[in-house]
Amino acid sequence: MANKDFYNEDEIIDSIINEKTPNMTEEFRQQQGNPFNGRVHVRQVGCGCFDLRKLLINFLIYTVVLMVTSGIFPGFFLGGIDAAIHAGAILTLLNTFVKPLIVLFTFPLTIMTLGLFYFVINAIIILMTAGLMGYDFVISNFFVAFFAALFISLLQHLIKKHLLKVDQL
Q: Quick one: three-class SS letters along 93-139?
A: HHHHHHHHHHHHHCHHHHHHCCCCHHHHHHHHHHHHHHHHHHHHEEE
Longest dimension (CA), the chain: 72
Residues 8-20: pLDDT tens digits?
Answer: 666 666 666 665 5
Q: What is the CA radius of gyration of the chain?
A: 23
Range in 119-123, 137-141, 161-165 with the lowest mean pLDDT? 161-165
Q: Is 33 left (phi over 0), alpha (psi -120 to 50) or beta?
A: left
User: What contacts 4, CB < 8 A, 6 or more positions away?
Assistant: 25, 27, 28
pLDDT at 41: 47
Q: Which residue has the higher pLDDT, 50 or 34?
A: 50
23 pLDDT band, cuts 50/70/90, is low
pTM of this structure = 0.68
